[in-house]
Amino acid sequence: MSELAFFQRAGVFTIADVVAWTGAHPAPDADLSEEIRGVAPLETAMPGDLAFLDNSKYAAALATTRASACLLTRAFADKAPAGVVALVVPDPLRAIATAAARLFPEAARPGSMFGGSGVSPGASVHPDARLEDGVVIDPGAVIGPGAVVGSRTVIGPNAVIGPRVRVGRDCCIGAHVSLQHALVGDHVIIHPGARVGQDGFGFAMGPAGHLKVPQIGRVIVQDHVEIGANTTIDRGANRDTIVGEGTKIDNLVQIGHNVVIGRHCVIVAQVGIAGSTELGDFVAVGGQAGLGGHLKIGAGAQLAAQSGVLSDVPAGARWGGAPAMPMRDFFRRVVELDKLAARAAKPGGAAGSEKESR
């Protein structure tokens, strides 16, 4: 089977273009005229490819790479083999992201899955909806009454934009996404299958049964947010659920009603955040962590994967474990448990002593 490339280059570019995009510093005598046709890892890169090195554990691959150019820090610049143009940058990962977005812009911002422009004949747009110039709507999408979609936004196939929902400009709403009771800012990407603005999980529980509490709030998604596939964000009960500017949310995340997420947070896959919890700016939450309700997570805090967070976390703290605690305390407990297990496993250890005392 012949190799199929899903992303096409935006044009013909050279190493000199990469230097201009990233502010990289090549050697004074470096030849910057060679064409860059792709981006590849060090170990598989071929002539015409751009590679990068941002982790010393991959330094050995640099010595044998066949890439035409490599983005790296100054510490590795003299280790690039002959024929590879070393491009020195402070942060190779950010530099390769910048270059890749210029080379393959369709990979950075999803487009129409139907390859169309304008409103597809197979879409259903209510007469009371308002679409600004340049909106693309794929087949099967539904735009409800009073909804507003900003210019250059793409609505994927079978997506549903509910009544009076606002979607900003330059957004990408993926296939099968549903948006209701939501206000979405500009430059927002919502990946396929995400659900935003459905009922929060609110019930007045009692021995006679559980009475549903009407959820009358909204979801506010600010600018430059990215929401992963099959993530769910419940609308507020009596105030808004808010996702702050620049926050990045992975796939399969559950965010409960009234949650407030600050700016530029990172929330990794399978995290669950219970209702009315607040995250400050630049909080990072590792995969499968669970956060209880009505908590405050301070700005810049980091929560390790699979943490069970049941109390407030101070700003800038690093917590892990279940129940979550400061990482230093968590590691200390792990070490002590290992010591206890080792003693118990020895002949005459804790287990043996217990038997002798009976």
170 Rama class: left (phi>0) / alpha (psi -120 to 50) / beta: left
Instruction: Using the predicted structure, report yes or no on whether residue 3 has a pLDDT greater than 70.
Output: no
Can you give the pLDDT at residue 350? 58
Report how far residue 104's alpha carbon sits from residue 116's, in angstroms, rounded to the nearest whole number.
19
Instruction: Using the predicted structure, report yes or no on whether residue 130 has a pLDDT greater than 50.
Output: yes
Can you give the pLDDT at residue 324? 97
Pick 115 or 241 by higher pLDDT.
Answer: 241
Can you give the pLDDT at residue 317? 98
Structure tokens at 156: 């994927």
Instruction: Using the predicted structure, report yes or no on whether residue 355 has a pLDDT greater than 60.
Output: no
The alpha carbon of residue 131 and the mean position of all alpha carbons in its chain are separated, in whole angstroms, by 28
Amino acid at 191: H
Instruction: Using the predicted structure, report yes or no on whether residue 353 has a pLDDT greater than 80.
Output: no
Amino acid at 262: G
pLDDT digits (tens, 9 = 90+) for 317-346: 999 999 999 999 999 999 998 999 888 888
Nearest to 69 by CA among 104, 27, 125, 7: 27
Q: What one-character DSSP code corresponds to residue 90?
A: S
The CATH number, out of the four listed (3.30.360.10, 3.90.79.10, 3.40.1390.10, 3.40.50.2300), of the domain defined by the range 13-108: 3.40.1390.10
Structure tokens at 252: 């399969």
From the candidates 126, 257, 264, 294, which is the catalytic residue? 257
pLDDT digits (tens, 9 = 90+) for 273-300: 999 999 999 999 999 999 999 999 999 9
Report how far residue 104's alpha carbon sits from residue 58's, in angstroms, rounded to the nearest whole number.
25
Confidence of residue 351 (pLDDT cuts 50, 70, 90): low
Of the listed ranges 3-7, 12-16, 30-34, the least confidently predicted one is 3-7
In sequence order, the β-bridge partners of residue 70 are 51, 86
Q: How far is CA 327 from CA 289, 308, 317, 319, 321, in A?
A: 14, 13, 9, 5, 8
Can you give the pLDDT at residue 347? 82
Can you give the pLDDT at residue 226? 98
Report how far residue 169's alpha carbon sits from residue 16's, in angstroms, rounded to the nearest whole number.
32
Report how far residue 294's alpha carbon sits from residue 311's, in angstroms, rounded to the nearest whole number.
9
Average pLDDT of 115-120? 91
Confidence of residue 1 (pLDDT cuts 50, 70, 90): very low
Place of tokens 């170990």: 43
Report how far residue 56's alpha carbon sits from residue 76's, in angstroms, rounded to the nearest whole number.
9
Q: What one-character DSSP code corresponds to residue 57?
A: G
Can you give the pLDDT at residue 255? 98
Average pLDDT of 165-192? 98
- Cβ atoms of residues 307 and 294 within 8 Å: no
In sequence order, the β-bridge partners of residue 167 are 149, 184
Query: Is 257 known to be catalytic?
Result: yes
Average pLDDT of 33-56? 96
* Omega of the bond leading into 314 within 30 degrees of 0 (cis): no
Can you give the pLDDT at residue 2? 52
Confidence of residue 242 (pLDDT cuts 50, 70, 90): very high
Task: State the chain's mean pLDDT as an integer.
Answer: 95
